[in-house]
Copies of this chain bind each other. A is one copy, B any other.
């Protein structure tokens, strides 16, 4: 099995946490997730910056992903340096010191039936 699949810089241009939801929590809380896969044999030290439409970027949010583990990180849970505002457009850049793979998902449960979106993020160091 190959080690260290992926890239060290990823970008997600879409970001929006709906301000409310329906259904049992936490599964049906409206949320956005950055799913990070670390196939390497080293701990991945992750830094996340959030970009907004009307103010300077906020970050870094610091996370770790253990070797050969995945972490499905909810933007809703980011706390430091500040929580992610709800009902606000944002974008994110994710940097890692080892190659990782990042996929972006949203579950929107504002209405009684949930909606989903997902895409592999943009690999920013591929060019």
Contacts and interface: CB of A to CB of B under 8 A. Distances in A.
Contact of A5 (B107, B111, B114, B124): B124
Nearest to A102: B13
Given A11-B37, A69-B53, A116-B115, A124 B101 contact: yes
A-side interface mostly: strand
A1 B95 contact: yes
A43 to B, nearest CB: 14
A46 interface: no
A2 B125 contact: yes
Interface of A: 1-2, 5-7, 9, 11-16, 23, 27-28, 33, 35-37, 39, 47, 49, 51-54, 56-57, 59-60, 68-72, 87, 89-91, 93, 95, 101-108, 110-127
